[in-house]
Amino acid sequence: MHLYSALQPIVKFLLTIVWRPTVSGLENVPSSGRMIMACNHVSAFETYVVPCMIPREIHWLGKDALFKGKGLPGKFFAWLMRSVNVIPVDRSGQAGASAALNAGIAVLEGEHALGVFPEGTRSPDGRMYRGKTGAIRLALATGAPILPVAEIGAFEAQRSKKSILPKLGATLHTTIGPTLDMRAELTRLRGGVSSNAPASRDELRALAHILMEAIRDLSGQEYVDEYASEVKKSLKASRAKAHERV
């Protein structure tokens, strides 16, 4: 048996016993075929809670550094990541972006479900940040519908930002919205004119905003029109300056 298929019901059972997470909107999940699951990202919990709530086997793109650990522990972790559908990708630079896009296209063309966090990194404060365009590029390239998903209560459930498990008694709810057809949305942006012209940078950003609005409607988060990665860099620089003054 595939390790993902074996582990998912076990993890879901343990989650149910300890935290009793709930889910709504399951009727929106395509039962088969290519699909991009796009979720907000406020904690580590989304990486395993959401896959347990959605009745599809999810594939993920992971940093290749996760697969380069030393010794037997490193080799075991790399094997475990591959066994639960995490695909190693060097995401550094422009070449890395192309590699990630190609890896995602390969997953979707195999009629699988691909999981993405369109913000690109965890929210530093529980708010929702501007979405990157990777999921949009994948959807336009493959015609895969995007399934907007929100995990509610996860940020509050953290003991610290390094927490792997939620606090006992935490309330976790996964809510799933109707799928989005980005090719149709692009045609709508173009005034209903169908065209084979590649989406411009502005069109990609507009489509990413449509996706983030759909997720925000589910999560109820405050929206910040900045990239979370840039906000994190700014916060890190501010802390460094404050430390220098001490």
Q: What is the pLDDT of residues 75-114, one digit of tens each?
A: 898 888 888 898 888 767 677 788 889 999 999 999 999 9
In terms of pTM, does the model score above 0.85? yes
State yes or no: pLDDT of 188 exceeds 90.
yes
Q: What is the pLDDT of residues 150-185, one digit of tens each?
A: 999 999 999 998 899 999 999 999 999 999 999 999
Q: What integer pLDDT is reported at residue 87 of this predicted model?
A: 87
Domain boundary assignment for the chain: 3-245
User: Among residues of the chain, what percentage have pLDDT more than 70?
Assistant: 97
The CATH number of domain 3-245, selected from 3.40.50, 1.10.150, 1.10.8, 3.40.1130: 3.40.1130
- Four-point Cα dihedral 137, 133, 44, 168, nearest 10: -100
The terminus-to-terminus CA distance of the chain in angstroms comes to 56
Q: What integer pLDDT is reported at residue 243 of this predicted model?
A: 65
User: Higher-confidence residue: 78 or 209?
Assistant: 209
User: Which DSSP state fits 1?
Assistant: -
Q: What integer pLDDT is reported at residue 245 of this predicted model?
A: 65
User: Higher-confidence residue: 96 or 20?
Assistant: 20
State yes or no: pLDDT of 125 exceeds 90.
yes
Q: Which residue has the tokens 């559908």?
A: 85
Within 8 A by CB and 6+ apart from 81, the residues are: 62, 66, 67, 88
Q: What integer pLDDT is reported at residue 90 of this predicted model?
A: 77
CA–CA distance, 203 with 199 (Å, rounded to integer): 6
Kindly report the average pLDDT of the chain as a whole number. Answer: 92
User: Higher-confidence residue: 6 or 145?
Assistant: 145
- The 3-state DSSP class for residue 89 equals strand
